[in-house]
Each structure stands twice: as structure tokens, then as C-alpha cells.
Structure 1
Amino acid sequence: MPENFQLQPENGIYILSWTGDQNDRALKDLMPLLEQIAQKKCQDVRDALNQFREQMIQKVQQGIKNPYQNLSLV
């Protein structure tokens, strides 16, 4: 677990390291997720991140290459 949110893991979003990758798209891929959190004015971002995390885990288990795409808040 990255040490930058080690003490509060439910507040973080795991992404691949981008160091040295000029083609990195992690933030662009996460923009729809972050926009949904802002638009829905989530009272507790941890609830929203947990929903997204569960959806991403399912996508990874299904072998989907980019688990950040097409996530939605309920």
C-alpha cells in the first residue's frame, strides 16, 4: 500500500506508477470518477470510493484492461 495514504486507505485511489511514463493517462482516466463525486456532492468521499473500488475489483477479475472506465455511483 502506498505510504501516502497508508493510514487512511479508504481515502485513496490506487493507480499504477507513472514515473517516467510520458504517455501516462491515469488522471485522465479517473476524471469521470472524480467528476461524479463532485456532481453528486457526496457527503463522504469514502462511500463513493468504496463503490468504485468494488466495481474496479470486479472488472479486474473479469480481465478488463482498464478497470477505471465506465464506473458509476449508485
Structure 2
Amino acid sequence: MEIRQSYVVKTDAKRRVLLRGKPYPYYRVREFSNGCLLLEPREMVAPQGITAGDLEDLENMAEAFPRGEDDAG
């Protein structure tokens, strides 16, 4: 991989850092025991559609929940 930028950042009072010119709005952050941080860009995508049957089952379970019924079977 090629290094595109290298700069020093200082954490603010809430331990946040500011990334300059970031091309992605979301990143997965991994913090290692030695203090290193790894940021991987993430692109949010729409989830797969929910079938009508699954949606109906979900609605039935949500309605049964306040009544304390177990409608799983």
C-alpha cells in the first residue's frame, strides 16, 4: 500500500481525533493493545429485503410481546 498522507494529530478533551480529507463517511476502528489504531473504510448498504411472511411473523411477535405470550411455536 502507498502512504497518501502522514501527519500528527492531537486528541481533544473527549479523546477524539480529526482526519483530514477523509474520502469515506464511515470507518471501522480497531484499537490494539500497543496503542495503534487501524481504520478501515466502510460503505453502508441497504440490507436485503424482508419477505412478507417474515414481516408478518415479526409484527405478530411484537403484538404478543406486551401480553407476555410466547408465539414462537
TM-score range, shorter chain: under 0.3
Structure of greater relative contact order (alpha carbons < 8 Å, 6+ residues apart): 1
- Determine which structure has the larger strand proportion and give its number: 2
- Determine which structure has the larger helix proportion and give its number: 1
**What TM-score, normalized by structure 2, do the two folds share?**
0.23
**What TM-score, normalized by structure 1, do the two folds share?**
0.23
Structure number with bigger Rg: 2
